[in-house]
Structure 1
Amino acid sequence: MFGILSSPPDSNPRGIMETGKRSARDRFVLLDGLRGIAAIFIIQRHAEDLLGDALPSSYLGVDLFFALSGFVLAHAYGASLSEGRISPLQFMKARLLRLYPLYAIALALVTAYYIHMYLAGLPVMADEHVIPNELLLAFATGLFFLPSPVTISFNAALFLVHPAWSLFNELVANMAYALRGARATLIQIGIVLAISAILLVVAALQFERLHAGFRWHEMYAGMARVFFSFSMGMLIYRYRRKMPVMRPVHALLCLGILMLVLAFPTPRDWRWIFDLLVVFFVWPILLYWASAIVPGPRTSSVANFLGVASYAVYVLHTPLLDWAHVIAPGIANPEMMPFSGIALVTLIVAISWCVTIWLDQPLQKRFKRRILHRPALVQK
């Protein structure tokens, strides 16, 4: 969701610190912009009372996150894992620590919100009130990044922090990547893609779209979404163009195509076909194309800003939206739409950037020094 939502690269390709600044050619700056824009579209989907009806295809941004994650992790860890310079255990520790700090903040905010609603005697959705035992259970499982057996959150999702369903799925894919994926052959990757594609077709037919995976009976769809797109991302990294070129106009075109797809008004009867076409073809082509483009200075600055904020935007936006309605009850006044929504989205992005720069990035530097620079486990 990252997964998440995909996060920025956790390390350089060799898993060690380097001196000096990496050039834009090494950082895939345009991919940061794609991830950031997709995250903002996800906010719009969850703020309908402030911004109007959700854009029809915005949920497909999650599939792009998964593909970006496969590409980025292959770049950051592929060689280190395949050559045994870091162990699968080190890799999974690094991934958990990359995701957990901001997730923990989101979990605390959501839990505090539900406690507030319970003490105030207010419903959290329609006429549904918080049940303390269910909240405690969901919080306890959420602490360990596990889905809850009860679903009391937005859309009956598997986690109190709604977007965490995709992060959990991505962690499962990360484990498979660490154990075998980094050394997988083309045939093995092809088998994973084929099985995942079949399950995606089944899910698209069952749910009439690919907006699925965040409830218990949809888990197979979520796993198919992550394994297909993640595997496609790592495959694209293997066969990417090795020499990116400066094409500012192409960079803007990539960003424009992304926004057009996420906002495309697909007729309901054709949505499942549209979703499959996007996941199977549009996102892989866009990723391959964008990974070979170095945007101009202005686009790079915006893309970098959005990329820095993207994971925090994704994981924090639902609790921030919830608390916004508590702090400013009149924010959902129809007369203030969509200006109140635009202002709130801007504020969420700004908060996310600040939290990432001032809190998360310093923590990540510490984690890297502790985990990635320990000798890898000797493999017989």
Structure 2
Amino acid sequence: MSLAGPAPENLRALTTMRFGAAFWVVLFHYWPALSLAGLPGLVAKGYLGVELFFVLSGFILCHVYLRAAGEGGFRYGSFLWARLARVYPLHLATLIGVGVLAGAATVAGIGIDPNILSWSSLPANLLMVHAWGFAPQASWNHPSWSISAEWFAYLLFPVFALAFWKLRTRPRTALIASLGALMALYAGFEALAGFPLTQATIHWGALRIVPCFALGCATYLAFTNMALPRAGLLAALSTLAIVAASALQLWDGVIVALFALLIWSLAALSRQAEQGALTVRWLNGRVGVYLGEISYSVYMVCVPWKLLAVNAALRVFDQGDGTLPLLVWLLILACIPLIAAMTYHLIEKPSRRAMRDWAMRDWAGSRNARKGAITASDKAVKKAKLA
């Protein structure tokens, strides 16, 4: 399958990139609380950090599972359990956290958005289908809508895998088709719905992930089949192009297409690093990789922390227009990675390990039971023959 060298086990540069995507979303959520005039174009496009995650998700899942799916070694149940172990414990913890914070604020007489505690939306949130049109309100830990969208893509992964396995030797076709479908869907959806698909959450979030996930799958085929010269330069240029396109408020489809080039070039840098070539050290360094590992926690705690910290700070430092002084705002922002590190080590990582260990023990027990049953059956057959 690969014409450009073996795919590395750990794409460290992409892990580092995840933190940048998460913090882009954080800035989008927190900027309105800052007492500075205007909203920079780059920050205003921060919602596209979710699209970057979606493209990356398609790429990484193909990196890990596509060959097994194509060659018949893919276990759908094990795959879904692994993905559930990855996302659900922290989703549940932050949902409960938002409920506790909102309930405490209500008791204390602090005004909050009444939609936060939307009990009619709770079942959909618990089942992670609140981005499928089943939640009447954007409620609880609202950013988790994207986790619901991810769950939709996980459930459909065998369909993606089948399509892209058939295209595994035609990466250019896969890329062109994926980009064309993405552009057509973006343009068509906006014409029909009156707003961009990239700004959909609870009602069209499941659709929002589909073109990005497919683009990530196609990018993986390009990565495994086509050598990318000057990967470091292309990574830098694609980053600058994303920043410039965002600052200039260009069409979202253009920026999402640039995400594919960024991911491809960073993956190529990881390959070069594994083959001993010099690369940008900070992308593969411990600090960057660690920040990338906690990026899911960064994303999931940003709104609960905002509800607590920003509302509390506004009671003391309100500038009179619902904004905070720069220093206070920066301190609140700086706490997010620290809180994310705590939730990563106390909730996300141990829960994931516990769920996977439980599944392994259950699988081992079932296998031993089957062996025991087969052995007993064999003994019975032998006895019958002797008789």
Q: TM-score, normalised by structure 1?
A: 0.75
- Structure 2 residue aligned with 1:275: 252
Indicate yes or no: 2:28 matched with 1:42: no
Equivalences for residues 220-299 of structure 1 within 5 A: 222-241=205-224, 255-262=239-246, 264-266=247-249, 271=250, 274-279=251-256, 281-294=257-270, 295-299=279-283
Indicate yes or no: 2:303 matched with 1:315: no
How far 1:45 moved relative to its partner? 1.0
Q: Amino acid of the residue matched to residue 142 of structure 2?
A: H
Indicate yes or no: 2:101 matched with 1:117: no
How far 1:146 moved relative to its partner? 2.6
Q: Amino acid of the residue matched to residue 31 of structure 1?
A: L
How far 1:145 moved relative to its partner? 1.6
- Answer whether contact 1:56 1:265 (CA < 8 A) is retained: no
Equivalences for residues 32-111 of structure 1 within 5 A: 32-51=15-34, 52=36, 53=39, 55-111=43-99
Deviations 1:54-90 (A, max 9, x none): 6221111111110100011111222233334342122
Indicate yes or no: 2:160 matched with 1:181: yes
Task: Provide structure 2 residue ranges, at least 5 long, that are not aligned to the other structure.
Answer: 1-6, 271-278, 368-387
Deviations 1:233-254 (A, max 9, x none): 1121122157789976665555
Q: Aligned in 2, Cα 1:351/1:260: closer, same or farther, shift over 3 Å?
A: farther
Task: Provide structure 1 residue ranges, at least 5 long, that are not aligned to the other structure.
Answer: 1-23, 152-156
- Answer whether contact 2:92 2:126 (CA < 8 A) is retained: yes
Q: Amino acid of the residue matched to residue 198 of structure 1?
A: A
Q: Amino acid of the residue matched to residue 260 of structure 2?
A: P
Q: Aligned in 2, Cα 1:196/1:331: closer, same or farther, shift over 3 Å?
A: farther
How far 1:94 moved relative to its partner? 1.4
How far 1:346 moved relative to its partner? 1.6
SS at match of 1:352: helix
Indicate yes or no: 2:121 matched with 1:138: yes
Q: Aligned in 2, Cα 1:254/1:299: closer, same or farther, shift over 3 Å?
A: farther
- Answer whether contact 2:16 2:291 (CA < 8 A) is retained: yes
Give, in whole Å, the separation in 1 of the partners of 2:196 and 2:283: 33
Given candidates 333, 337, 340, the residue that maps to 1:349 is 337
Q: Amino acid of the residue matched to residue 163 of structure 1?
A: P
- Answer whether contact 1:67 1:232 (CA < 8 A) is retained: yes
- Answer whether contact 1:246 1:296 (CA < 8 A) is retained: no
How far 1:165 moved relative to its partner? 1.4
- Structure 1 residue aligned with 2:142: 162
> Which structure dedicates a bigger proportion of its chain to helix?
2
How far 1:352 moved relative to its partner? 0.8
Deviations 1:214-247 (A, max 9, x none): 143xx1xx34431111111112112215778997
- Answer whether contact 1:305 1:353 (CA < 8 A) is retained: no
- Answer whether contact 1:111 1:139 (CA < 8 A) is retained: no
- Structure 2 residue aligned with 1:199: 185
Give, in whole Å, the separation in 2 of the partners of 1:76 and 1:354: 27
Deviations 1:70-126 (A, max 9, x none): 01111122223333434212211211221011111210111112212332343324x
Deviations 1:286-332 (A, max 9, x none): 22222101343333224312211211111111011101134434466
Give, in whole Å, the separation in 1 of the partners of 2:242 and 2:89: 29
Q: Aligned in 2, Cα 1:248/1:339: closer, same or farther, shift over 3 Å?
A: farther
Give, in whole Å, the separation in 2 of the partners of 1:255 and 1:282: 8
Aligned residues: CA RMSD: 3.4
Identity among equivalent pairs (%): 22
Given candidates 284, 290, 293, the residue that maps to 1:305 is 290
- Answer whether contact 2:28 2:45 (CA < 8 A) is retained: no
Q: Aligned in 2, Cα 1:26/1:143: closer, same or farther, shift over 3 Å?
A: same
How far 1:36 moved relative to its partner? 0.9
> Size of the alignment, in residue pairs?
331
- Structure 1 residue aligned with 2:378: none
